Every structure is written in C-alpha cells, then in structure tokens.
Amino acid sequence: MQNLKMKLTQLVCASAAALGLLGACTQKPPAAWSGYAEGDYVYVSSPIAGRVEGVAVRAGESVRQGAALFNLDASSEKLAEKEAEARAQAALAQANNLGSGKRREELAVTQAQLAQARAAEVLANSDLQRQQQLLAQGFVSKARADDAATAVAQARARVAELTAALQVAQLPGRTEEIFAQRANAQAAREALSQSQWRSGQKQQTAPADALVADVFFQRGEFVGAGQPVVSLLPPANIKARFFVPEADLGGIQMGQAVWLACDGCGKPMAAKISRIATQPEFTPPVIYSNAQRSKLVFMAEAQPSAADAVRLKPGQPLDVRPDVAPPVQAK
C-alpha cells in the first residue's frame, strides 16, 4: 500500500513537472489589433471653369504619371493668348524703336535740308559781300547792305537748326522713355505667360502613377473652377488604419514594423507605423471585433510598400500584429 502511494506521488510530481515545463515553453501570442485599409484620394480639377471637351480615362484603370486625364474647352483662353502675344510683340517693337533713333530715310531728308541750308548760306554771304562793295562805291543804300547781312544771319541760323536736328535724329530715345517702354514690354510678356498658363490649366494630367477611382463628369458637362473631374488613388496613398488598446500603447512607436493580414490578400505584408494619434477614443463600430467594443483605444496608421499596397482596398478589414513573427497566412 505504501509502495502504491509512493508511485502515485511520483506520477503526480512528474505530471506537474511536465505541465510546468510545457507552460514555460509556451509563449503568449502577440496582440492582434483590428483595423481597415484607408486611402487618401487625389481629386484632380482645373482652377478655371469650363465645359468638358474630353475625358481620357475610365474608372478602374491604371494610369502612369503624366498621362492625360481630361481637357476643358480652351477657345477663349487661346484667343486671349493670341491677343497677349500680339501686345507683347508691339511693346517690344516700340522699345526697340526708341533705342535705335530715326530711320535712315528720315535722316536722309534732314541731311538734304541741311545741305540746302548751307548752300543758301553761301549764296547769302556772296550777296552780302557784293552789296558791301556797292555801298562803298555809293551805288546802293546802306539799307540794302543791311538786308543782305540779315539774310546771312538767317541762313546761318537755319544751318545751325538743321545740324542740331540731324544730331538729335541720330540719338536714341531718352533713358526714362526707354526704361518705361521696356517695362511695358515686360508687362506684356508677363500677361502672355498668364494667358499661356490659363490655356495649359484646361488640360490636366496624372500627378503620379495611380488607379482611377472615379470619373465625376463626362463630355459636354460644365465644370466649376476647382471642382474635381477625376479622383485617383496612388499606391503610396494606401495605408492601414488600426486601433490599439490603451494597455498596448506603450509597446508601439513610430517607425515600428507590423504585419498586415486580410481575407483574400494572400501572404501577410509588412508595414511600418507612420502615425499614432495623440488623443484616445472609443472603438468605433467599424472595427470588426466584439471583444474590443467600447474600449478606450488610440488610432494608429501603418504604411506598407507600394508593391503591397495595391493588394489592399479601402474599407477592407485588416488584422495588424507587431513584427514578432509573421502571422498565419489568411485564407
């Protein structure tokens, strides 16, 4: 009897030891947090109102950066651009004209007038000398000689006038006039640039590689300034949003690696925590977990790689685990 008790005691001790060893080897699985995929959509619009002339994409297709998305009627902007271009050319021509003096033909007219005035001066001098000789001989009156002297003075004044006019004609415009006209030419060029910018804004392209999420307007419809025509979802804008219980908050930090798993996503994907909310909130009903309902949680976000992000759909439920070991692949 005593031997039986001893054997039972040894068996109980051995079982307890085995159970204790098993408990020591069994690790508590890492916490899993519930969340969902979130997307930051890019709404492409034109800053200028107009009628939709064409839409080059459809919802659900992928586009590359720089691909045409849509264009609005730009007839008015193109006419304004031509007008601004003509004004710019006119202002530039006026500025160049002020800096070059008069034309060669205009200078030739002034030069011919100066030559005629010099010839008249020579003739007046000859007549004055002749009248002075006749006056000395007593053949003419002093008044006649005075008239000849006056004619010489007038001829000399005319020569001086035309000489000065020729010099002025060869000079460019005054510095202030040239500066003002060049400023006008620059203003005209800036107005042309504005018109060209307005024309360019009527055609919009994809700012990055993305999925076309939706098309809000079709050809023939009128779009207001700043009203989105197409929405895009770049892979870099897809992220995981999950909620961490207050008790687990001390175990996460910015840049920490996590694993994302979802139904139908294939193997789990790696991501890094990119945001941790600074204020708590109660678990919203969108979280698909009854166990976490009405608990105080902190919202966090994790960013997967662009290659993995395309596997996620905004609104899709996710399981998020810290990067201790990859979770079991979802079915």
**13-65 residue pLDDT tens:** 455 444 444 444 444 445 688 899 999 999 999 999 999 999 999 999 999 99
Candidates 309, 237, 310, 233; CA nearest to 44 is 233
Most distant CA atoms of the chain, gap in Å: 188
Helix, strand and coil content of the chain, in percent to the nearest 5, comes to 45, 25, 30
244 vs 255: CA distance, rounded Å: 15
257 vs 324: CA distance, rounded Å: 9
List, as one string, the DSSP characters of 39-79.
E--EEE--SS-EEEEEE---TT-EE-TT-EEEEE--HHHHH
φ, ψ at 43 (rounded to 5°): -100, 110
Candidates 303, 312, 316; CA nearest to 258 is 303
Bridge partners for 51 per DSSP: 222
Q: For residue 291, what pLDDT is reported?
A: 55
List, as one string, the DSSP characters of 115-128.
HHHHHHHHHHHHHH
Q: Which residues of the chain, if any, have pLDDT below 50?
A: 1-2, 4-5, 8, 12-13, 16-29, 293-294, 325-327, 330-331
User: Could you tell me where in the chain the CATH 1.10.287.470 domains are found?
Assistant: 101-171
Q: For residue 2, what pLDDT is reported?
A: 47
Q: For residue 26, what pLDDT is reported?
A: 45
CATH number of 101-171: 1.10.287.470
Q: For residue 289, what pLDDT is reported?
A: 55
Beta-sheet strands, E only, within the chain: 33-39, 42-44, 50-55, 62-63, 68-72, 203-205, 210-215, 222-223, 230-233, 238-245, 257-261, 269-276, 281-282, 296-304, 317-322
Q: For residue 160, what pLDDT is reported?
A: 84
Q: For residue 23, what pLDDT is reported?
A: 45
- Count how many residues are written for the chain: 331
User: Could you tell me where in the chain the CATH 2.40.30.170 domains are found?
Assistant: 33-40+235-322
Token pair for 261 = 């798993």
Tell me, yes or no, if the pTM score tops 0.75: no
Architecture of domain 33-40+235-322: Beta Barrel (2.40)
- What are the angstrom distances between the C-alpha of 145 and each of 119, 124, 141, 152? 20, 11, 7, 11
Q: For residue 12, what pLDDT is reported?
A: 47
74 vs 68: CA distance, rounded Å: 16
Report yes or no: 277 and 243 within 8 Å, Cβ to Cβ.
no
φ, ψ at 94 (rounded to 5°): -65, -40
Candidates 234, 237, 232; CA nearest to 37 is 237
Report yes or no: 197 and 209 within 8 Å, Cβ to Cβ.
no
246 vs 4: CA distance, rounded Å: 54
